[in-house]
Amino acid sequence: MNKRWLRRMDFTLIFATAAIILMSLVIIGSATHINTAAGGSFVQRQGLFAVMNIALAVFFMNFDYKMLQRYGMTLYWINLALLVAVMLFGHSALGAQRWIQIGPISLQPSEFSKIIMIISLAALLEDKVGKLNTLHDLLPIAAFVGVPFLLVLKQPDLGTSLVFIAIFLGMIFAAGVNLKLLGAIFGAGLLASPILWHFLKDYQKMRILVFLDPNVDPLGSGYHIIQSEIAIGSGQLFGKGLFEGTQSQLDFLPENHTDFIFAVVGEELGFIGAAFLLLLYLLLLWRGIRIAQEASDTFGMLLAVGITSMLVFHVLVNIGMTMGIMPVTGIPLPLMSYGISSLTTNIMSIAMLLNVYMKKQRLVF
């Protein structure tokens, strides 16, 4: 039985995931000065929860994911309750109210809401594949995603709310939405963007302005981008070496163990190290796409598409913002950035991809 179970595993996906997590512990250690007396706590906590999440991953790999389809709406309402609880009882940090404190651990429900959104939307779309041809067909799906989107946007967390849109677009595309309808909606969104601008908060507007020109506010909103670009550029081909990056080690680079961890990779490991990390992500995302294509049922296909859409958006936006080609949104780099909620969500997502893959293999064997 153990041999048969091992033969059903996607070892490429497991290798890419494990390699990214191990690399993250090294880079988090460097970013948080593990080589000093005060360093080490971030690595210990991230490593501990990575190990604990292995047990969670084994569970998610082995239960029948089709059961989730039955509880799609229940999970959806639990998700809304958690997001409302954040608004009522959550604590604020960095100008946003996104966290619930449980003892020494700060949990971010909006991170878990991504995977819940994928499950509940897959359950809703399963019997609508090929039937999303008119605006009347699409509006209920958009409203379904729109409620948690607005609750997360209210925190405010523009980055995570945009992830919901990426998940929504990826999954309705896989469900066979009328592409002309999708193009018309996209065009309408572009036309409405000047109006939407007035609904953004001042700091969100400034992030867009400094994306266009970081020198608009070089000591404020543009500081992160400028320091990140200096860090990545100074790494050149082979990097400055672990614990040798000046921007990171001298604390010029803010949030270097969370949102801007890729800049630490670029500075200390250079182009070679950054390219290796990107290769690992390409392997992970390629396997996600293949698992979606080869899924044995529609619900599994939609789950895999939703998870892969989420991961693609995270990787593109996070790495893009560290290089100055995307606005700063506060989206973490999957499996790399420090954060217990983000790490748990991503490991659960990978485990569910493995589950979808293993069900197909069960049918083969």
Domain ranges of the chain: 2-364
pTM greater than 0.85 (yes/no): yes
Q: Is 77 exposed, middle or buried (0-12, 13-18, 19+ CB in 10 A)?
A: exposed
Q: Please report the pLDDT score of residue 145 as a whole number.
A: 92
Q: Please report the pLDDT score of residue 273 as a whole number.
A: 95
Q: Please report the pLDDT score of residue 156 as a whole number.
A: 72
Q: Please report the pLDDT score of residue 288 as a whole number.
A: 95
pLDDT digits (tens, 9 = 90+) for 30-40: 998 876 655 66
CA–CA dist 124, 122 (Å, integer): 5
Q: Please report the pLDDT score of residue 96 as a whole number.
A: 52
Sign of the C-alpha dihedral computed for residues 113, 118, 123 and 128 taken in this order: positive
Residue type, 298: T
How many CB atoms within 10 Å of residue 244? Answer: 12
Q: Please report the pLDDT score of residue 303 as a whole number.
A: 95
Q: Mean pLDDT, consecutive 10-residue segments, the chain of 365 residues?
A: 67 94 94 72 89 85 84 91 79 56 66 91 92 90 92 81 92 91 84 77 77 80 88 92 88 88 95 96 96 92 96 95 86 92 92 88 50
CA–CA dist 95, 91 (Å, integer): 10
CA–CA dist 41, 34 (Å, integer): 8
Concatenated DSSP letters of 169-197: HHHHHHTT--HHHHHHHHHHHHHHHHHHH
Q: Please report the pLDDT score of residue 59 as a whole number.
A: 80
Strand order in the sheet with 96-102: 91-93, 96-102, 105-107
Encoding tokens for residue 344? 């748990």
CA–CA dist 360, 296 (Å, integer): 5
CA–CA dist 268, 256 (Å, integer): 12
CA–CA dist 62, 198 (Å, integer): 48
| Residue 99 β-bridge partners | 91
